[in-house]
Amino acid sequence: MKINPYLAKNTDIDFSVFSSMIVIYLEHSLQNDTPATEIKRGVREILSMMYRIMPQNQKYIQYISTQYWTKKALEFANFDLTTPSKILKDINAKVLNEATVNSINIKKGPSKLVLEHAVPVAILAKNIIQLFQDGQSIEEYIKKNFIFVTCTKIEDKQLNDAGWQKEMPDENDTWSRYKETNIEVFDTETGNLVS
């Protein structure tokens, strides 16, 4: 049972369709000797297409429906952070209607919230291409790493200023950029801290 009824999880997306699109694109590109920079750009465009049709991009619930939130984003949205169970109850209570979503002013103020890729798109594209060239499946990699975090605009800038916009300290740790910059990220489905 989902605790957050508006929570858009990666399981709501048919990753096999996008994985197939990427594989077809890569096969075609490699057969036609497409330059590496063009191949990376094409994979990034397909990933962008995935982002645009994800459930969390529906009007009014774009930010609320992401599973992962930074502590500051939760505070900005006035969620109760005293215990993990209170986070879950508070999120569950606040996302029930459009009026509530509008009342937390997620698009106003100096700390407005943004959706941020947990793994930068440049890293995703690079690793997808490498997996394909190694003859490995890309679908599981995409399912595991195509994750979004709701964070404040200030935290997004903090990640960028630290040099983690297109890089990661540890590509094997999805949360390494957040750990490196001391940004706490919660899984709002479980209430657990992940970074």
pTM > 0.85: yes or no: no
* Distance (Å) of CA 43 to CA 18, 23, 48: 10, 10, 9
Give me the chain's average pLDDT, please.
75
Give the pLDDT confidence score for residue 16 in this predicted structure. 79
pLDDT tens for the chain, 195 residues: list them: 233 434 444 445 567 778 888 898 899 998 999 899 999 988 888 888 777 666 544 433 444 457 788 888 877 776 655 544 555 555 545 443 344 444 444 444 444 778 888 999 999 999 999 999 999 989 889 888 888 888 888 899 999 999 999 999 999 899 999 999 999 998 877 778 888
Domain ranges of the chain: 10-193
User: Mind listing the pLDDT tens digit for each residue in 111-160?
Assistant: 477 888 899 999 999 999 999 999 998 988 988 888 888 888 889 999 99
Which residues make Cβ contacts (< 8 Å) with residue 6, sequence separation at least 6? 61, 64, 65, 95
Residue type, 72: K
Give the pLDDT confidence score for residue 53 in this predicted structure. 66
